[in-house]
């Protein structure tokens, strides 16, 4: 294969060409809202199976290590829990009676259940943002499982994030603690609305996120009050728990309050999440 040396472009020109290509892509993703769907498809089929494999092995090993440690604790706990079961069974019976009563009353008042049971699909977290700046993670379910952009993701008892990009077999979720995340929320006690921001600085320092623009003119909000997604949010379904209010103070304008919020979800150990397949119906396109 020793022909004449092939003509090659100098590195400079290639650099300029690739720079233009990159800037073109940046422009395209801002202006035209293209998120590289063909690339997503290809990359999804190459990477996701491998990512899943690594996670499977990793979890297997850490489970085995944990098992040995936990055995003694578990036995101790078992005795305690058995006692608790008895106690709770008695309690449950009373509650069942009350529930029966409540159901009857609801029927009488023809009240709908406030939060309809949404259709959900379970997914595992298979990768986290490679850098240290953002809180984005990928899950192992995608378009093939009916997931679409803007679907809400919950974990445990609270809101974890929102789907921002979908591939055939994976989806990218931006968590609520991400620095660019903003959610319209309300406090349960008096339905006053506020904005919940993710914040890298606050999250690193004290595992909390921020809220601002809370009106609370009657000073009804206290520390520990629950904050849920609001009814006017255009992407988040109403009434999903976000977290509990920590410390807060009045703003300089003397009208609104702002402070910190402890998220309900443990983002350090996020492994399984639920994606809500119902999307919020908001009037018109939000482009």
**Under the rule (CB under 8 A), what is the footprint of another protein?**
1-2, 11, 14-15, 18-19, 21-26, 28-30, 34-36, 39-40, 43, 46-47, 50-51, 54-55, 58, 62, 126-134, 136, 138, 172, 179-180, 200-201, 204-205, 268
Residue 58 or 239 with smaller CB distance to another protein: 58
Residue 130, C-beta contacts closer than 8 angstroms, at least 6 positions apart:
none
Q: H-helix or E-strand containing 57? A: helix 37-109
Residue 237, C-beta contacts closer than 8 angstroms, at least 6 positions apart:
118, 152, 229, 276, 278, 280
Q: How far is the CB of 248 from another protein (least distance, A)?
A: 20
Residue 198 or 237 with smaller CB distance to another protein: 198
Q: How far is the CB of 170 from another protein (least distance, A)?
A: 8
Structure tokens at 80: 């305690």
Closest CA to 240 of 164, 174, 162, 165: 162
Positive/negative CA dihedral, 142, 146, 152, 155 = negative
Residue 161 or 241 with smaller CB distance to another protein: 161
Residue 145 or 179 with smaller CB distance to another protein: 179
Residue 204 or 253 with smaller CB distance to another protein: 204
Q: How far is the CB of 200 from another protein (least distance, A)?
A: 7
Structure tokens at 169: 């077999």
Q: How far is the CB of 156 from another protein (least distance, A)?
A: 19
Are residues 265 and 241 in contact, defined by beta-carbon separation less than 8 angstroms?
Answer: no
């Amino acid at each position: 294969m020793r022909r004449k040396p092939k003509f090659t472009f100098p590195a400079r020109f290639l650099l300029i060409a690739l720079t233009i290509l990159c800037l073109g892509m940046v422009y395209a993703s801002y202006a035209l809202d293209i998120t590289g769907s063909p690339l997503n498809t290809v990359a999804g089929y190459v990477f996701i199976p491998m990512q899943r494999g690594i996670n499977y092995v990793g979890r297997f090993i850490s489970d085995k290590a944990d098992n040995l440690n936990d055995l003694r604790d578990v036995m101790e706990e078992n005795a305690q829990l058995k006692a608790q079961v008895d106690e709770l069974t008695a309690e449950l019976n009373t509650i069942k009676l009350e529930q029966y009563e409540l159901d009857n009353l609801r029927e009488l008042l023809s009240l709908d259940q406030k939060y309809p049971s949404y259709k959900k699909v379970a997914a595992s977290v298979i990768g986290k943002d490679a850098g240290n700046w953002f809180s984005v993670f990928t899950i192992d379910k995608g378009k093939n499982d009916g997931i679409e952009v803007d679907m809400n993701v919950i974990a445990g008892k609270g809101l974890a994030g929102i789907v921002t990009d979908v591939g055939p077999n994976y989806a990218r979720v931006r968590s609520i603690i991400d620095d660019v995340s903003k959610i319209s929320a309300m406090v349960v006690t008096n339905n006053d609305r506020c904005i919940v921001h993710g914040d890298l600085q606050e999250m690193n320092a004290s595992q909390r996120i921020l809220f601002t623009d809370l009106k609370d003119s009657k000073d009804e909000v206290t520390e520990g009050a629950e904050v849920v997604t609001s009814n006017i949010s255009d992407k988040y379904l109403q009434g999903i728990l976000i977290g509990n209010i920590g410390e807060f103070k009045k703003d300089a304008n003397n009208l609104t309050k702002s402070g910190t919020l402890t998220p309900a979800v443990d983002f350090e150990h996020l492994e399984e999440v639920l994606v809500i397949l119902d999307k919020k119906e908001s009037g018109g396109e939000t482009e």
